[in-house]
């Protein structure tokens, strides 16, 4: 699931609520390559949390009186992110020993 890789990648950088994750996708122009609408994003987040790859870190009150949940990546999620990243590199033709792959994966640890 591409959404899994993208969400875990964003959360690898810090703890965020779903709208901030969506904003980061927009800023990175991810939507030029893959459609990640809000419904897909929330569904993927629920699935990732159920799998123990991400976890709610805190809840914040928003201006209109609602609450939003901030998520963080778990150790299991970091391992899964590395697996997905490695698989993506291999699918793109970068072998296991390719220097670019080693550099990117080592900086994500």
pLDDT in tens, 29-49: 666 566 677 788 899 999 999
State percent of the chain over pLDDT 70. 76
Q: Could you tell me the CA-to-CA distances from 70 to 11, 20, 49 in Å, in that order?
A: 10, 9, 12
Residue 10's φ and ψ, nearest 5 degrees, are -65, -45
Number of residues in the chain:
109
6 three-class SS:
helix
The tens digit of pLDDT for each residue in 71-83 reads 999 999 999 999 9
Number of Cβ within a 10 Å radius of residue 49: 16
């Amino acid at each position: 699931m591409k959404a899994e890789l993208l969400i875990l990648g964003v959360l690898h950088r810090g703890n965020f609520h779903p709208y901030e994750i969506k904003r980061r996708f927009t800023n990175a122009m991810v939507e030029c390559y893959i459609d990640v609408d809000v419904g897909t994003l929330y569904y993927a987040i629920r699935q990732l949390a159920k799998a123990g790859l991400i976890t709610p870190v805190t809840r914040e009150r928003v201006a209109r009186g609602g609450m939003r949940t901030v998520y963080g990546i778990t150790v299991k999620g970091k391992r899964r992110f590395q697996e997905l990243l490695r698989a993506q590199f291999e699918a793109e033709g970068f072998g296991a020993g390719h220097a670019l792959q080693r550099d990117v994966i080592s900086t994500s640890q």
